[in-house]
Structure 1
């Protein structure tokens, strides 16, 4: 997220949801690279997280 972004404020619920989604994506990928046997688990968790955040981001945002 860029603080110079004029389309959304840094602390809007959508911006927070985007940050959480991005952070979870990178953590899942990092864990998957540490343990190849966990790749399938990390991918499943990531897809579940993406689905839950995309269905209703207002409920998933940390405010």
Structure 2
């Protein structure tokens, strides 16, 4: 198991914008930054269906 503090002290990805408009540069993100989420589309669809079912 890796040390969780290693990630906290690593270099953060580049940022675009300033203040409340700042965001990580998508071209600088990779799998180490947690950008891989293969089930995102399925999760979004499920959440939308759950939301519709609750509003009825």
What is the TM-score when the length of structure 2 is the normalising length?
0.36
Q: Which is richer in strand?
A: 2
Q: Which is richer in helix?
A: 1
Q: Which structure ranks higher in relative contact order (CA pairs < 8 Å, sequence separation ≥ 6)?
A: 1
Structure number, greater radius of gyration: 2
